Amino acid sequence: MRRNTGRYALILAGGRGTRFWPRSRRSRAKQVLRFLGERSLIQQTVDRLGPVIPPDRVWVLTNDHLRDEIVRQLPEVPRQQILAEPAQRNTAPAIGLAAHILQSVEPDALMGVFPSDHVIAKPARYLRFVRQAFHAAAQGNIVVLGIQARWPETGYGYIEFPKDARAGSLEPFKVRRFREKPDLKTAMRYLKAGNFYWNAGMFFWRTSVLLDALREFQPKTATLLASLPEFRSRRFASALKQVFPNCENISIDYAVLEKARTVAGFATDDFGWNDVGSWNAVYELLPRDRDGNVLRSEALAESSSGNYVDAGGKLVALLGVRDLLVVDTPDALLIADRSRAQEVGDLVKKLEQQKRDELL
């Protein structure tokens, strides 16, 4: 008989979101920015989960640059549950570490993994699936939420469901296969087929189930994590600094999901999920004026349409310009064609190569 164990959230908040430069910086990454509403994306994540997982059962994994800001933004989450990874080692070690700690807090706990930087327009509808996913995880399954594909996206991995999987079903299906980011032709085939869902990085399992899988498929990382002292011990932080950088740099998708014999998946229907992948996504998520401009600063727009303007307290005058992203900060100004929004991250790479640390 299963114990009635508690539900915990692990929010992964170690990303940088360089595509939101110059607004995003190492210490102000995408998840802590407020570009959609009054609350930052990570605050929205905790708010949204509230009816299912109270904040005192929320854990956050982030990095040293961001931890202070996240502690400030999430006063309702116990600060010792907001951890900075000593090194970036992708999602498998991060999730393994969290499972290891949670296991010591409550053996066999139910754990949901959530990105910190997505939006969900219909949270009540979303939570129906989250509750069902925890339910399926309580049965001992590895569980994933699939997002119904809305266009042939080449930037996400896909989850292949059985051909008869019905979108919106509150019962899980057995995942046929995980698929890596496809090329456009393949993505179009997936979209047409209808049984391929986006993998949005939302996973559910008992900590014991995940740790078993990690031991089986990533024995080195599992052994390293098992060598850590008790989470509450004084030696934990320094031991983690020693151990964590030696873990394998691999995503949970490669490390566990693709190898697991069975994964239960929910073929969700539309709850307004958006991973806010670029400034253009922000533009598309916000209300526009009749010229298709999103003007987040005071602006004077003359013969100008389709622009996104975010310039703090400064007046921006636009004259005869179209489809621009304009993001102004005290030390850097971005002006990009909206169709190039995905390439903003490449600019940041260039600044890194040029060692312009003050702008990163």
In the complex, least distance from residue 297 CB atom to a second copy, rounded to whole angstroms: 9
Binding mask 256-295 for a second copy (x = CB under 8 A): ----------------------------------------
Told to check if 314 binds a second copy by CB under 8 A, we report yes
336 interacts with a second copy by CB under 8 A: yes
Residue 305 sits in the site that holds a second copy (CB under 8 A): no
How many Cα atoms are found within 13 Å in the side-chain-facing hemisphere of 44? 24
Task: Pick from 151, 262, 319, 357 the residue near a second copy by CB under 8 A.
Answer: 319
Window 11-50: contact mask with a second copy (x via CB under 8 A): ----------xx----------------------------
CA 262-136-154 angle, 5° bins: 60
Residue of the chain from 290, 343, 355, 357 that contacts a second copy (CB under 8 A): 343
Cα–Cα distances in angstroms (integers) from residue 123 to residues 8, 128, 131, in the given order = 18, 9, 12
| Residue 213, C-beta contacts closer than 8 angstroms, at least 6 positions apart | 142, 205, 256, 259, 260
Instruction: Tell me if 160 sits within 8 A of 176, measured CB to CB.
Output: yes
- Please give the C-alpha separations between residue 43 and each of 23, 53, 248, in angstroms, as whole numbers: 18, 14, 30
Residue in 2, 163, 164, 330 binding a second copy, rule: CB under 8 A: 330
Q: Cα(303)–Cα(274) distance, rounded to whole angstroms?
A: 31
Does residue 65 belong to the site contacting a second copy (CB under 8 A)? no
- Three-state DSSP class for residue 142: coil
> Binding residue for a second copy (CB under 8 A) from 1, 302, 355, 357?
302
352 binds a second copy (CB under 8 A): no
As a whole number of angstroms, the distance between CA 244 and CA 88 comes to 9
Helix (H, G, I), strand (E, B) or coil at 92: helix
Nearest to 88 by CA among 27, 16, 33, 21: 16
**Residue of 56, 122, 339, 352 interacting with a second copy (CB under 8 A):** 339
Stretch of residues binding a second copy (CB under 8 A), selected from 117-125, 168-176, 184-192, 347-355: 347-355
- Is 350 among the residues that bind a second copy (CB under 8 A)? yes
Q: Contact between 303 and a second copy (CB under 8 A)?
A: yes
Beta bridge partners of 196: 160
Residues that bind a second copy (CB under 8 A): 21-22, 300, 302-303, 311, 314-321, 324, 326, 328, 330-337, 339-340, 343-344, 346-347, 350-351, 356, 359
